[in-house]
Amino acid sequence: MTAPTFSTLGALIGLVLAIILIVKKVHPAYSLIFGALIGGLIGGGGLADTVKAMVTGAQSMMSPVLRIMTSGILAGALIKTGSAETIADTIVKKLGQKRAIAAIAIATMIICAVGVFIDIAVITVAPIAIAIAKKANLSKAGILLAMIGGGKAGNIISPNPNTIAASEAFGIDLTALMVKNLIPAFIALFVAIILAGILAKKGGAHEFDGVDEAETSGVSLSFFKAMLGPIVVIALLALRSIAGISVDPLIALPLGGLVTILVTGHAKNTVEFTEFGLSKVIGVSILLIGTGTIAGIIKASALQVDMIALLEAMNMPAFVLAPLSGILMGAATASTTAGSTIASQTFSGPLTAAGVPAVSAAAMIHAGATVLDSLPHGSFFHATGGSVFMAIEDRMKLIPYEAIVGLSSTIVATILYLIGF
């Protein structure tokens, strides 16, 4: 390992400064860039070395950014064609009101797992969930936790930005990482359904008085047509393990989106739908570039060495770095994507050098990043609360339950590594 350019203190000060700026409503990308600059200078690297580390970190993000930008075609297609809505509505109707909480959670999980971003998945399912809550006398907290918990479960097995960034950092196949977290995802789903079921009874339909149900798109689609695009993506990504044919997500994700557009009869709207999809991913793409700058400073700092030394002093094994760094960075950035990216970029080398298999390390980091990713200094907190018209103070009370859901998947991912699964 090359000698660190920056001190651990400088890197941490830069990260804390970035968090403070994000909380103060400065754009996250600018907050991360400014934090990286100050952290590098305080860390003793000098201006030239600081800028060099920032640029190197940002450059390391170009591969995932390209894949994320093309994933917008799939996300835009699923949302604008009404496919995401059809998938959610079908699942809820099939399971019925008696299993309403489970239906809401599973619907959100599947929509997120097939490539829709978690906040969009929650917003998509929310109108259906509100309608069910009114009929079944369920609380806002119950249905929101069901959606968020289901979304967290789907997020760690999806071809979404966070999964792409983690797989890129460890140099592993995207499908392998998605499959690795299948068991943790289903455990998280189960925990979410249990907790949401408890919360759903604390309140009721009266909480939605004055809330109008959102109008659906009016598009009538069969479930098969709605799912065909995601099925194509899954099939193409699975070819590597089945037939030894590697189809990059850069190809598979947009192709699935185009299939969705064609089979739903919206060929003439292709440009409109793809532009909509791009508008949904451009923010996270810019965020990742900003994340790259602070990741570059952290990666070139003594933080890796110091954390490993701390674990050794505490007699803790090196693999603990994976879930711990995912949790801490997810909390620091209030973002699964930024958290898993920084943790993966920083600790992929030390973890694999310590003998932890790359796919296991990535899975633990990825799951860990979902534990505290919904803190108030991130957009997810506000977007999800707004989807069910929940007050800020009530939304805050939900954070411990969300953390338990994320922690359940993290613990299971860690146990699977320990037993060699």
Would you state the pLDDT for residue 365?
Answer: 95
Nearest Cα neighbor of 219 from 260, 253, 258, 252 is 260
Higher-confidence position of 306 and 17: 17
- Residue 234 tokens read as 């899954």
Residues 68 and 161: beta-carbon distance below 8 Å: yes
The number of C-alpha atoms within 13 Å of 213 and in the hemisphere containing its C-beta is 14
Domain-located, residue 359: yes
Task: Give the model confidence (pLDDT) of 176-223 as tens digits.
Answer: 999 999 999 999 999 999 999 999 887 655 555 554 444 444 557 888
Cα torsion 300, 302, 303, 307: sign: positive
What range does the domain containing 171 cover?
8-418
Higher-confidence position of 82 and 365: 365
First and final C-alpha spacing in the chain: 30
Tokens 């997020």, residue located: 155
Distance CA 165, CA 338 (A): 9
Higher-confidence position of 395 and 135: 395
Residues 138 and 180: beta-carbon distance below 8 Å: no
Domain-located, residue 2: no
Domain-located, residue 1: no
Task: Give the model confidence (pLDDT) of 218-250 as tens digits.
Answer: 557 888 888 888 888 878 877 765 777 777 778
Instruction: Enter the pTM of the model.
Output: 0.71
**Which residues are paired to 20 by β-bridges?**
none
- Residue 373 tokens read as 């990713």
Tokens 């070139």, residue located: 300
Q: Compute φ and ψ for 6, nearest 5 degrees.
A: -125, 155
Domain-located, residue 52: yes
Tokens 């309140």, residue located: 203
Mean pLDDT to the nearest integer, 88-94: 76
* Tally of domains within the chain: 1
Domain-located, residue 3: no
Q: Is the pLDDT of residue 72 over 60?
A: yes
Domain-located, residue 127: yes
How many C-beta neighbours within 10 Å does residue 292 have?
Answer: 30
